[in-house]
Chain A
């Protein structure tokens, strides 16, 4: 026995013990389950503005990529993640009050989309007729503010409103 060890030392080939991967695999398995649970099939991603709590729903319709208009509890307006100022106040709560920030930003987006569609086939062109906008609003906002957002989007040519809401467990 002693002779064998000495021989091994001389030859420089020490026996290496196997790397214990069991604990690492345990961690990976837990992480995998957690990530599978939070997997989202929707291609829509929204960086929610501050002070914005979404209403909950049981509906499971996945969102799609479109311009995103966000209005938080303090009536701040974000368009595609960029802060644009405060939502236009409608003192008389008139239905035709428009927010100039939303109108100008969405009009610019529409013009960009139209330019991109130039020279494309009729099928692609027909899509522009149904321009849609993702609307992310705080659940506490009154309807007077909601209709300012809707009227502004419609005025800019975005006729399909997609209200983004949070899934209820």
Chain B
């Protein structure tokens, strides 16, 4: 009698895996349906809008009109109605210097906290890939930061996640 009891204690019941397998099967169908083998993301841009200001009406202050000119060998950052040159950024090994562009745009944003638009003006033969890289630099803060706090004109803190929120691609005429 004593030996039988010990045998009964040692015998292990097999683990019931049926509910686990049911769960895994359901999860698998869901994942198969939503699987993306190429991960696609989007970069936004707005239609350029032309606004004319009557000659008799004077603007309170000159608009920033920040423009990034994309050229074969580099970039130019210009601003103002006359397109005053702020800086030039040369390409490194035929690739745009994204980090430099991003940090320069960030410093411009710090000085103009309420400005949200940047105009990208590519030359006619510039490849689409290069334009995308410029858009990427506009959308990312320098040094891989996810967000940054800047002060608005009244000194109130303003949290930003992009250098500039809106991109307008200028037609090349």
Footprint of B on A, CB under 8 Å?
A: 18, 21, 24-25, 28-29, 31-32, 35-36, 38-42, 44-46, 48, 54-55, 57-64, 93-96, 134, 137-144, 146-147, 150-151, 154, 159-167
Distance to closest chain A CB from B93 (angstroms): 17
Apart from A32-B28, A59-B139, A167-B41: 9 A-B pairs, beta carbons within 8 A: A31-B28, A42-B40, A55-B133, A61-B42, A146-B128, A162-B43, A163-B44, A163-B135, A166-B40
Q: If A18-B14, A32-B24, A40-B39 touch, does A140 touch B45 (CB 8 Å cutoff)?
A: no
Q: What are 21 contact pairs spanning A and B, CB under 8 A?
A: A25-B17, A28-B21, A32-B24, A36-B31, A38-B36, A40-B34, A42-B41, A54-B40, A57-B43, A58-B136, A59-B43, A59-B140, A61-B43, A63-B42, A93-B172, A139-B129, A146-B131, A147-B172, A150-B171, A161-B46, A162-B44
Task: Tell me, rounded to whole Å, the shortest Cβ–Cβ distance linking B30 to chain A.
Answer: 9
Which DSSP category, helix, strand, loop or mixed, fits chain B's interface? mixed
Q: Is the CB of B21 within 8 A of A21?
A: yes
A-B contact count (CB 8 A): 155
| Most chain A CB within a 10 A radius of its CB, from B27, B31, B39, B44 | B39
Answer whether A57 and B136 are a contact pair too, CB < 8 Å, given A95-B173, A161-B47, A166-B40.
yes
